[in-house]
C-alpha cells in the first residue's frame, strides 16, 4: 500500500480544508455528496471531520459526518485517490468512550475506519488534550497505528503551547511519531488562543496550522449584521458573541477589502488566514455548492500589505 506523506507539506496543496462538521447536521447526505463533488472538482483535496460529528444533534449518536464521507468515497470515481481524509478521536462518544488512552484510540480508530470505508486515515488527530493519560501512552498507540498502516500521520487539536511542546519532546526522546499539524481556534476575530506562544512554537517546529472556525461559525461571511439575522441558520444563536463593537469593526474592514476586490467578505476572511506565514490551510464549512465559490476566490486572492494591516487592526483584541 502506498504510504502518502501528510503534514504541513502535503496540506500546502490544499489552500482550504473542508469542515465536515456540517455533514449530518445542517447538510444531509444528498446535499453533502453534491458539495463534496464540487469541492473536489474545484481543485481542493482535504476534508476534516471527527468521530463525534454530529453527536450534539438530538437523535444523533456521533459518526454521522464520517458515515456520509464514507458513503461518498464508496461511489468510486477516483475520489479516495484524490482526497486527504482528516479525522479526530478523544471527544466523548458515550459513557466511558472518550480520551486518549491506548485502549480507546485503538478501539475508536476501527470505528472511524469502518464509517469512512477506508483502510487508512491520512491525518488522525487528538481532538482535545487528555491530561489523565500519559503522553507517552498516547503517542505509542499512534505509533502502532502508523506501523499497521491504519494512520499515515498524527495531529493535535485544541492543545496549549505547553502541552504541544511536551508532546514534541516525548516524541523526540522516544523516537515516536510527532504531531505534524495543530488545529487551533483561529480567525480574524478569535485570535488570542493562537497568536503568541502557540504560533511561535508552530513556526519554530515547522508544525502545520490548520485553524478551525475559519469564518467564525459564519459571522465573517457578513450575513449576520443584526440580532434579526440570527434566525438565518442553526448557528445563528452563536452570533451574539461576535456582534459587538469589535465585531462590527471587523465586518466594516471586510466590507472595504471585499468591495475593492469584487469578492464576498468570506473570501477575504479566508485569504487573510492564508496570508499569515504560520497558517498552512484554514478549515471552513459550506452548506451549499454556491458557498464554495468563496473558497476558490480566497485561494486566488492576493491581499495587499495595507489591506492585511487594516484587517489586523480591526480584529485586534
Distance from C-alpha of 286 to C-alpha of 276, rounded to nearest angstrom: 22
CA torsion angle 136 137 142 144 (round to 10):
110
Q: Which of 107, 109, 1, 18 is nearest to 68 (CA)?
A: 18
- E-strand ranges in 41-178 read 46-48, 84-89, 121-126, 151-157
Residue 25, classed as helix, strand or coil, is coil
Neighbours of 137 (CB within 10 A): 15
Q: Which helix (H) or strand (E) holds 142?
A: helix 135-147
| Structural element, H or E, at residue 108 | helix 102-116
- Is residue 213 part of the annotated active site? The answer reads no
Give ∠ CA 304-310-313 in degrees, rounded to 5.
Answer: 140
Q: Crossing angle of helices 102-116/135-147, nearest 10°?
A: 40
Distances (CA, A) of 276 to 18, 50, 96, 267, 308: 19, 26, 40, 15, 9
Q: Name the grid cell of 266.
A: 468570506
- Residue 173 CA to residue 64 CA, distance in Å, equals 38
Q: Which helix (H) or strand (E) holds 174?
A: helix 161-174
Please identify every residue annotated as catalytic.
53
Amino acid at each position: 500500500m502506498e504510504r502518502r506523506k501528510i503534514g504541513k507539506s502535503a496540506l500546502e496543496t490544499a489552500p482550504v480544508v473542508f469542515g465536515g462538521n456540517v455533514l449530518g447536521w445542517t447538510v444531509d447526505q444528498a446535499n453533502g455528496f453534491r458539495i463534496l463533488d464540487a469541492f473536489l472538482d474545484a481543485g481542493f483535496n482535504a476534508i476534516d471531520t471527527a468521530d463525534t460529528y454530529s453527536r450534539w444533534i438530538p437523535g444523533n449518536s456521533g459518526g454521522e459526518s464520517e458515515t456520509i464521507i464514507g458513503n461518498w468515497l464508496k461511489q468510486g470515481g477516483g475520489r479516495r485517490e484524490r482526497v486527504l481524509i482528516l479525522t479526530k478521536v478523544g471527544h466523548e462518544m458515550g459513557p466511558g468512550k472518550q480520551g486518549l488512552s491506548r485502549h480507546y484510540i485503538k478501539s475508536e480508530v476501527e470505528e472511524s475506519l469502518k464509517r469512512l470505508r477506508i483502510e487508512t486515515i491520512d491525518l488522525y488527530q487528538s481532538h482535545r488534550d487528555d491530561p489523565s493519560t500519559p503522553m507517552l501512552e498516547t503517542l505509542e498507540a499512534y505509533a502502532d497505528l502508523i506501523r499497521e498502516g491504519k494512520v499515515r500521520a498524527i495531529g493535535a487539536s485544541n492543545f496549549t503551547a505547553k502541552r504541544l511542546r511536551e508532546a514534541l519532546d516525548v516524541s523526540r526522546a522516544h523516537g515516536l511519531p510527532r504531531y505534524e499539524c495543530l488545529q487551533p481556534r483561529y480567525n480574524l476575530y478569535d485570535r488570542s488562543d493562537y497568536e503568541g506562544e502557540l504560533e511561535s512554537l508552530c513556526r519554530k517546529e515547522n508544525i502545520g496550522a490548520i485553524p478551525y472556525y475559519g469564518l467564525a461559525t459564519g459571522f465573517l461571511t457578513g450575513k449576520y449584521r443584526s440580532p434579526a439575522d440570527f434566525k438565518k441558520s442553526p448557528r445563528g444563536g452563536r452570533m451574539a458573541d461576535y456582534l459587538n463593537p469589535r465585531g462590527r469593526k471587523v465586518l466594516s474592514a471586510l466590507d472595504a477589502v471585499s468591495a475593492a476586490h469584487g469578492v464576498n467578505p468570506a473570501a477575504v476572511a479566508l485569504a487573510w488566514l492564508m496570508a499569515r506565514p504560520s497558517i498552512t490551510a484554514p478549515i471552513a464549512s459550506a452548506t451549499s455548492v454556491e458557498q464554495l465559490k468563496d473558497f476558490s476566490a480566497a485561494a486566488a486572492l492576493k491581499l495587499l500589505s495595507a489591506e492585511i494591516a487594516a484587517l489586523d487592526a480591526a480584529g485586534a483584541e
